[in-house]
Every structure is written in C-alpha cells, then in structure tokens.
Structure 1
C-alpha cells in the first residue's frame, strides 16, 4: 500500500504496557482486518522499532509528545505517519496523520504572516517611489491613503490572527504544565505505592529463606534464590527509575567545583577502589555552572562502570582528562575494561539496556541513560569510543558559557 491519500489519519488506544486495545480511527482501513488486542511493536516496521521505543518512553515521561515519524507495517503494507502521543491516566493515545502537528502549523502560520507583512511593505515602498518619479503628483495623496489604509487593515487582521494563535499556544502550554504535574504525581505514586510492596515481598522472602531455606530441596532453594534476586533487582530498578525522572528537574544554575565532585565520588566508591586496587586519577577540573547532582551522577556512574566492567585478572586504571577549545570543554573518562562492541555503542545509552547478563555483572542498565540525560539537561553531548577487550573512553562536552565567574 502506497501513501497516496491526501488526508489519512489513525488513532490507536493502548494500555501502559504497549498493547493496542482499540482502534478509534482508521481513515484508509489500513488495519481493518486486525485482531485486537495486539502488541504495538507488531504494527510497525523493524526500521522504526528503535524510534518507537524512544517515542513510547518520552510519552511516559512527558505525557505529551508530538511529531515523531514512524512507519507502520501490516500484511506487507507500509504507511508513513507523523505520530503524536498523549498519556491520559491509564490510557495512551497514539494519533498519526500525514500532516504536520498543530504546534508546527501555528509557528508556520505566524512566519507566513510576518513574511506577508514584509512583502506588503516592500510593495508599498515601490509604489511610492514610482509615484514620486512620475508627474502624477495629484494622485500621490490618494495613492498613499489607499496603500496605507490597505496595509493598516492587513496589520489589524494579522494582529487578530496572531492573538488567536497566541491563545492556542497558551492553551498548549497549560496542557504541558498539567502533564508535568501529572508526571510529578506519578513519581510520588511510584515512590510510595510501589516501593513499599516490593520491600514487603523482599522482607518475607528473606524471612522465608532464613527460617525454612535449609528444609527445602535443592530445586526449592534455587527457586527461592531466584525470587529474592528478582525482588532485589525490582527494588533497584524502581529507585533508579525515580532518580532518572528526577534528573529532569535538576537546577542547572548552581556553581559546581568538579574537583570536589570527583573527590566525593572517589570517597563513596572507596571500598570498590581498594578491593580492586584500582588507580583512579584526574587532572585539575574547572568550576562550572550546572547541577551538582547531575555532575555527581555522571562521574559516579562512569567511574563505577569502569570499576565494574573489567576482567578479574586486570587492575582497573581510570583517568579523567580535559580538552579546552574556543566554545566548550571536552571531558574524557578512560578505562581499561572489557570494552563495547562497535554495533552496541549507541544502545548502551538506552533505558534499561544491558549488554551483559546479571550473572556476569550486576546492575539495572540505568546508569548510562542517567549520564546522557544529565549531560543533555546541562546543554552538552555525550558519546564513547571503545574496543572490545581493551577498554572504553567516554566523552562529554560542557559549553564555556557554563563556566562560573569568580
């Protein structure tokens, strides 16, 4: 199926687990023979799966996300849609169409109005010059009056349109504010409504292990240990997810001495450093404007990973270096760990992405996602260079406009 229809739209109603429960609108009958419920990933082309995952996480985080291009695929048919997503309590609405979103239309129309005004002024100026260069002086007054009356009427009409568009933008801002408030309430709910039952499950499993663990046969002991590990992992994931969400609200205007941040991180990781006899060094770092919590998360996660992901027979060596150019600082955190495969370099920054099994290295796969979010929140970029078996170097930038003034 080719995208030939001038105006086609689709609205999917999903639960929070990514299951499509209802098709509210399908103007080209793209999914007319589908059986519901169905997993959302089954309706999209493999080339859009990564974008679909990021789009879905953004909806959960922001409640409203607009203008994401995705390719739907069903029964060997394909359609390109610009999707917007809306989180409405327990339901996620995905609205796709072949037109730009309302927000883009508003901005586009505003730019068109401004361009039309500029063109009208230029046309009027040319008319005035032509009249002044002619002998028809008696028509000057009438020409001025007609042209500027027309222009004034246009400006009044355009002002009226701009006022309406400003109201629409204000309405969108109110919706965004409400979405942020809903996300704050969701965070509170996760913190208090989910962590408590997980702690209770963990406590009872621990108690069961202490009192009756020895009386269980080997298979029973194995299952009990798996359940305890699962409860512990779930508790860590909830805590990390809360930390990840809270990083969106970091104050990025603090004055932060990165040398102090580095020393504090080394102090917290002292046991791991001493156990592995690791060498962790840094050259002198600048004082910047940013988030002390954000920088702390960045240094702690990168250094902790460098200590964790290293072969047992190898002594960890971790160094922090700095390059200064005209516009920004580039920080380099280098290790001699297990390294990362070339085709996995971008995946490591995704939410809950683990490249190694929990049997090899513990963790929830949230650390590098937090690093990326914190750096981008402070206006920087983050990337890595790596070679399997030889270690990795993580880079991140901070603009010089963030340098604190003494």
Structure 2
C-alpha cells in the first residue's frame, strides 16, 4: 500500500443508491481518469466493503455519520481516508481526509464547492455545530445566479403558457355562449313562430274531414285521421318546447313554499287525478330557495307521469318525501307504475325521448327533460331507481343555498 501524504482530501457526491455522480475534490488525483457514474463498491477496497455497508446504513438512518475509515483504490493506487457522510435530500455527500479532522473544518471546505450544496450544508451545520459562514467565491455566486435565472425563466414560460390556455378557454366559453344563445333563439322560433302554420294545417284538415269525410273510403278516412293526429302531436311538442325554452329564464333564488307548490300542481292535475282516482301522500315540506315556476314544472311532470304510466286496472299511488342534510334537500317521488328498464334510466331525461308508442301512452317526451333542466338550473341533480312492473322512485336534490 502506498504511503499516505498528509492532509489528502476527497469529496464525492452520490445518489441514495450508492452511485458516485460527481467528484468535487481529489487532492491526490486518485480518481483522475475514472468514468462517472460509478458504484461506490467499485472504488472501495474489498477489505473495506463491510465497513462501507455499515457506514452507508448509518448515514441513511441518522442523516450523518462520522469517522469511518475506508480504503479507496483505482488504477493500482490505494489511499486510506477517514470519511464523514451527510444525507442532503436525495444526495449523499462523502468527505474523506487522510487525517481525522473536525466536523467544522470539513464543512468549511464543502462550502467552497457549490452554492446550492452550500445552502443545504448550512442546514446540516446548524444541527451539528451551529456554524454560520458566507459564500464569497465568485464562481459559486455565478452558479447560483445561473440556477436562479434558469428557474425564473421556467416560471415565466409557465406563466405565459397558462395565459395562453386561459385565453383559449375564454375564447371557447364565448363560442359556447354564442352557440347557446343561437340554440335558445332557434328553439323559441321553432316553438313560437311555427305554432300558427301548424294550427292552420290542423284547421284545414278538420274542415276537409267534415266536408269530404263521408266521400272518402276506409283508407282515406285512416289517412286523414293520421294527419290530424300528427298535427295535434306536433302542436303539443312545440308548446312543450316553448315551455322548455322559457324554463332557462326563470329566477332561482325565490323563497318557495313547497306545500303551496303541490297544492297548485294538484289543481292543475285535478282532472287526471279524479279520472284515475290517484292517491297522493306527502309529508309537510319546507320553504326553500329556488324557482317557483321550475318546482311546479318538476312536481307536475313527475306526478302526471306517475298517473299516466300505470298498468291497466291499477290505482296510481304516489308518495312524496324529503331527506335533509347540511348541504341539500333530497326529495323522492315514488309511484307504482309500469317502471323503467335499467338501460333506459338515463336517456329518459333527454329531449323528445319516448319509451312507449304514442297509441299506448300520450305525450311528447319533453316532461323529464324539463324536470332535469329545472333541477340543474337550481344547482341540483336528478336520478331514478325503478323495477319494471313495480314502479319508479325519482330522486332530486336542491342545494340549501342557491345563487343566481
């Protein structure tokens, strides 16, 4: 083994897996031509491997370990060093000296390496001996400045990218608002401006049927009745479409007594209730913030459907209940009707979606679409559970604080 030269020093930067990534100081040029990265086990003498293992574990357990003698070898050169090790985030700094030196002296030398590592080492200094030193090396300051400039440039670039994305989102929102306004205008035009032509078609078909109906054969009678039925259903669809459009323009912050809402709905549906002898039960309901018009539409459509979609010979039974928590009112409207198959439970809330033939149950397929729109306008959700043949339960929530 070669004789030791007094005060030889070596400082290595490793990752947490024991791979040497940088050689900061090597006074005897032991690792002068070594190719990095390299594993510690590749430069530590076999006779020191066990000591290296204990040393490495101690560093990870205690964040630092001192005064461990290891023999390094490379290109037939061997040197003994007394090592101290420091765990700095993801980096392990190994400081070796041919003499047993104080922690303070080692730390002073480390601080001349790199400003970023120096900052980390100062944190360790406080734990070890509360030393405070300033870095005045020009190259280290330049390295710190370069790092700071790079970080600042990255932040500026990120800010610019965020601004570009925000501008794109703002543009998309404007386009979406324009599309929504166009759709509202189109919906209103279809449902309002076309009512008169449809009434005219229906009126002339009725007059034609009265005047010439007796002269038509069986097929002619069938065709004229189908035309009248189509005109009638088209008229109802446009009326419902107009209601759907108008439901977008209601206030949603009124104080609404739900008991009065249900009394109004029962008056509107009085004839249907009496014809089917429907039984409606409900508990006392609260006064909430929402839309009076919207809530009338919700309960009117749900109760009307419960009365309409009932098997032949069965008496409609409808119950209305409320569950309350800190954030929401959750309402249930339960019926004993024909039920809805599982694969149709979401699509029934779509515009003009009908699951039954018009000859079997009348309607335009707009009712549940208006229910969903009214509930969502008030910040809530609507869904259903059902069993085919045994009825459905509709759930909807209203937030306790609805902002306009």
What's the TM-score, normalizing by structure 2?
0.62
Q: Alpha carbons of 1:192 and 1:392: their partners in 2 closer, same or farther (altered >3 Å)?
A: closer
Contact 2:349 2:369 in 1 (8 A): yes
Residue 129, structure 1, aligned to residue 119, structure 2: yes
* Per-residue deviation, 1:343: 4.1
User: Structure 2: where are the runs of 5+ without partners?
Assistant: 1-113, 126-132
Report what 2:376 is aligned to. Answer: 376
Q: What's the CA shift string for 1:28-75, capped at 9, x where partnerless?
A: xxxxxxxxxxxxxxxxxxxxxxxxxxxxxxxxxxxxxxxxxxxxxxxx
* Per-residue deviation, 1:234: 1.1
For these two proteins, the number of residue pairs brought into alignment is 281
Contact 2:385 2:394 in 1 (8 A): yes
Hey, what's the Cα distance between the residues in 2 that align with 1:327 and 1:156?
41
* Per-residue deviation, 1:296: 1.5
Structure 1 range deviating more: 255-264 or 141-150:
141-150
Residue 226, structure 1, aligned to residue 216, structure 2: no
User: Structure 1: where are the runs of 5+ without partners?
Assistant: 1-123
Contact 1:380 1:399 in 2 (8 A): yes
Hey, what's the Cα distance between the residues in 2 that align with 1:125 and 1:376?
57
Structure 1 range deviating more: 182-191 or 295-304:
182-191
Q: What's the CA shift string for 1:159-186, capped at 9, x where partnerless?
A: 3333333332332222223222322331
Q: Alpha carbons of 1:259 and 1:245: their partners in 2 closer, same or farther (altered >3 Å)?
A: same
SS at match of 2:194: helix
Report what 1:264 is aligned to. Answer: 264
Q: Alpha carbons of 1:389 and 1:172: their partners in 2 closer, same or farther (altered >3 Å)?
A: closer
SS at match of 1:371: helix
Report what 1:62 is aligned to. Answer: none
Hey, what's the Cα distance between the residues in 2 that align with 1:254 and 1:246?
17
Report what 1:155 is aligned to. Answer: 155
Q: What's the CA shift string for 1:277-306, capped at 9, x where partnerless?
A: 222232111222222222121101000111
Hey, what's the Cα distance between the residues in 1 that align with 2:367 and 2:149?
63
Report what 2:367 is aligned to. Answer: 367
Hey, what's the Cα distance between the residues in 2 that align with 1:340 and 1:358?
17
* Per-residue deviation, 1:208: 1.4
* Per-residue deviation, 1:354: 2.0
Contact 2:253 2:403 in 1 (8 A): no
* Per-residue deviation, 1:222: 1.7
Q: Alpha carbons of 1:186 and 1:213: their partners in 2 closer, same or farther (altered >3 Å)?
A: same
**1:246-395 counterparts in 2 under 5 A?**
246-395=246-395
Contact 1:330 1:396 in 2 (8 A): yes
Hey, what's the Cα distance between the residues in 2 that align with 1:184 and 1:388?
36
Q: What's the CA shift string for 1:241-293, capped at 9, x where partnerless?
A: 33334434443333222222111111111111122222223211122222222
Contact 1:382 1:394 in 2 (8 A): yes
* Per-residue deviation, 1:391: 2.4
* Per-residue deviation, 1:204: 0.9
Report what 1:212 is aligned to. Answer: 212
Report what 2:6 is aligned to. Answer: none
Hey, what's the Cα distance between the residues in 2 that align with 1:252 and 1:171?
27
Hey, what's the Cα distance between the residues in 1 that align with 2:117 and 2:253?
53
Contact 1:131 1:137 in 2 (8 A): no
Contact 2:282 2:320 in 1 (8 A): yes
RMSD: 3.0
Hey, what's the Cα distance between the residues in 2 that align with 1:240 and 1:159?
48
Q: Alpha carbons of 1:129 and 1:256: their partners in 2 closer, same or farther (altered >3 Å)?
A: farther
Hey, what's the Cα distance between the residues in 1 that align with 2:157 and 2:371?
49
Contact 1:128 1:144 in 2 (8 A): no
Q: What's the CA shift string for 1:354-385, capped at 9, x where partnerless?
A: 22221121101121222223223323222223
Q: Alpha carbons of 1:191 and 1:126: their partners in 2 closer, same or farther (altered >3 Å)?
A: farther
Hey, what's the Cα distance between the residues in 2 that align with 1:345 and 1:360?
20
Q: Alpha carbons of 1:198 and 1:293: their partners in 2 closer, same or farther (altered >3 Å)?
A: same
* Per-residue deviation, 1:126: 6.0
